[in-house]
Homo-oligomer: A and B are copies of this chain.
Amino acid sequence: MSQLKGACIIGQSGGPTSVINASAYGAIKTALESDSITRVLGALNGIKGVLEDNLIDMGKEDPQELALMKHTPSSALGSCRYKLKDPDQDDTDYKRILEVFRKYDVRYFFYNGGNDSMDTCNKISKFLMKNGYECRVMGIPKTIDNDLAGTDHCPGFGSAAKYIATSVMEVYHDSRVYDTGMITIIECMGRHAGWLTAASSLAAHKGNGPDLIYLPEVPFDIEQFTASVEEIYKKNKKCLVVVSEGIHDKDGTFIAEYANKNMTKDSFGHAQLGGLASFLANYIKAKTGAKVRGIELSLLQRCAAHIASKTDIEESFMAGKAAVENAVAGATDKMVGFERKYVNGKYACETKLFDLTIVANAEKKVPREWINESGNGILEGFIDYALPLIQGQTDLAIEDGLPRFVRLRKVKAEA
């Protein structure tokens, strides 16, 4: 494969994670050190940065400062949720992208994101090929949801899982402190796949976990749910439940929408809505008369870099590095993914390339065989899968007792 010389663009897209910047840094650092890559450009707010010619010169950042990206949560280059049209319907955006690529002689494009981002990657790659513009396009995955097809797991999941398992252990202790009754309901992210919610079972594995766990993979029956909670509460005076935001009934109606149904105006005439955890807490409180608390982990679970998994950080960095190395070696139109190996029983992870067409827009769910028959608990298979992914503590820089996150100069790139 002939050497391809030119600039590269890296962009980030979709919801951020604690480690998406570790992947971006892996790609940026490797690209800056590569002989084939003449210039490393960062697209601000993902593909929008390309469309608006809003690019920064990563070579103009101080290397020490840039290295802090590895432990900084959220997307340091900014993100977007911009969805490209089907090029056969409207290729305006694609022509603009090609124009900007030509302007900077961009021969490498690295896109760091989830399902939609891999779709974007795929469409751009196909368009450039069709138009005979030589550019190597690589997807670098990230998503706390862990729902990308092909890859064994996704960068970002391990850290969110570690945060969730740890927080659930801590809440477990807190919620048992009084000898009076207490029911606690914790809500995790995950609209269609229950990987994050399942991660709470890692706390149970340590003996400090939920009594009941509900994933979107199994239809949710609010009466069965109430019965299960009441049974455990009657026996133990305590019950800890973890639910996914995406739980829905057999008709596909999200349980969160049960709450919306009762959306009413407050004293100021504004719609008032508490969310799923709050809805279920009030529902169970009314049914049992018990003290019930609903806790929504909200954004905290996807940005808690202070408790990121070292394994996840290093694998995320490796994914970004591999994307550049493989592209320079000639690969294109692929997503970097992970393959799990066990070397004398010890977990190991290697990168592997997946066809973008396969990955784009497919969704990987938690296998039914990892969920108990009643659909309210997680089995050993998941523990074995997830435990290696949360190993190791972050070594993020601390300044005055608080994290020291990256501060980029963001020098506008000139053609």
Contacts and interface: CB of A to CB of B under 8 A. Distances in A.
A275 B173 CA distance: 23
Interface in A93-111: none
B306 A170 contact: yes
26 contacts: A16-B177, A45-B178, A73-B170, A74-B177, A79-B177, A162-B402, A166-B402, A167-B304, A169-B402, A170-B303, A174-B302, A202-B402, A206-B402, A259-B266, A259-B272, A261-B266, A262-B265, A266-B279, A266-B283, A269-B286, A270-B282, A274-B278, A295-B299, A306-B307, A309-B401, A391-B400
A316 interface: no
A120 interface: no
A224 interface: no
A390 B402 contact: yes
A146 interface: no
B300 A171 contact: yes
A298 B299 contact: no
A345 to B, nearest CB: 15
A170 B304 contact: yes
If over half of A's interface residues share one DSSP class (helix, strand or loop), that class is named, otherwise mixed; here it is mixed
Interface in A260-299: 261-262, 264-275, 278-279, 282-283, 285-286, 293, 295-296, 298-299
Interface residues of A, number: 83
A330 to B, nearest CB: 33
Contacts of A267: 258, 261-262
A45 B279 contact: no
A239 B63 CA distance: 31
Contacts of A167: 300, 304
Nearest to A307: B306
A169 B403 contact: yes
A113 to B, nearest CB: 12
A273 B282 contact: yes
Nearest to A267: B261
A225 to B, nearest CB: 12
Contacts of A400: 205-206, 387, 391
A317 interface: no
A298 B177 CA distance: 15
B303 A295 contact: no
Interface in A118-151: none
Given A282-B273, A393-B398, A80 B295 contact: no
